[in-house]
Amino acid sequence: MSTSSTTSTMAPNKEFTLIVAATNRMGVGKGGGLPWTGLRKEMAYFARVTKRAGPGKTNAVVMGRKTWESIPLKYRPLAKRANYMISRTQSSNSSDIDLGPDAHAGTSLTDALEKLEFRTQSKETNNENEKEIDRVFIIGGGQIYTAALELKQAKRILLTRILEDFECDTYFPVELKEDGTGKDWRRRDTQALREWTGEGEDVEGVKEEGGVKYIFEMWERVEES
């Protein structure tokens, strides 16, 4: 496990993608968990997309402490991805966070992004945390999403739009409207989603699991002219 107690002033340049499931009102959580359950195909989509990397490389997933702790113990760290957990209380002397093997901790999003930007593959290895990083995904929670969206390197949002109206107490900080409009963001078509994620035709159209309907979308930041 690697830890850090300081935050560098060097600005990271590597672009990253936020991936999130949210209602039309941008609700993402309730009581520290998800308001919906049983969306196995949606979770499989998340796993495929965040694992799919270029040859000899691996992707990274960056998350806050609460998101880390919400993952069942047997599934963390998330397999075949470099895991970075952010906690403001984490320090080089702390022992209260047991990440287990193949995971890293830091005190800020910038700290994690800097480590990812400069990480290179030094040898042939099957260890996901020694390979060069391909794509970086921010997976939650609310405070981490907010911090990520303040950085210009946030280029893309992969949204699973939950079409049911669930009660939430945590919200995604950017409104991505069902009609495809959003301040500083634009929704791309399904073909663009497929090309970027590497997914097939099964990501098209409305899905339903356990009475919950949802749709996969991709949004990109509108570049300033």
Closest CA to 92 of 106, 108, 82: 106
H/E element holding 217? strand 212-221
Spatial separation of the C-alpha atoms in residues 21 and 103, rounded to whole Å = 24
Alpha-carbon distances, residue 64 vs 54, 61, 202 (angstroms) = 26, 10, 30
Q: Is residue 34 annotated as a catalytic residue, yes or no?
A: yes
Catalytic residue among 39, 42, 176, 193: 42
Whether the link from the prior residue into 141 is cis, omega within 30° of 0, is yes
Encode 164-202: b = buried (16+ Cβ within 10 Å), e = exposed: eebebebbbebebeeeeebeebebeebeebbebbebeee
H/E element holding 84? strand 82-86
Q: Is residue 15 annotated as a catalytic residue, yes or no?
A: no
φ/ψ of residue 202, rounded to 5: -70, -10
Catalytic residue among 34, 69, 204, 220: 34
Q: Could you list the active site residues?
A: 34, 42
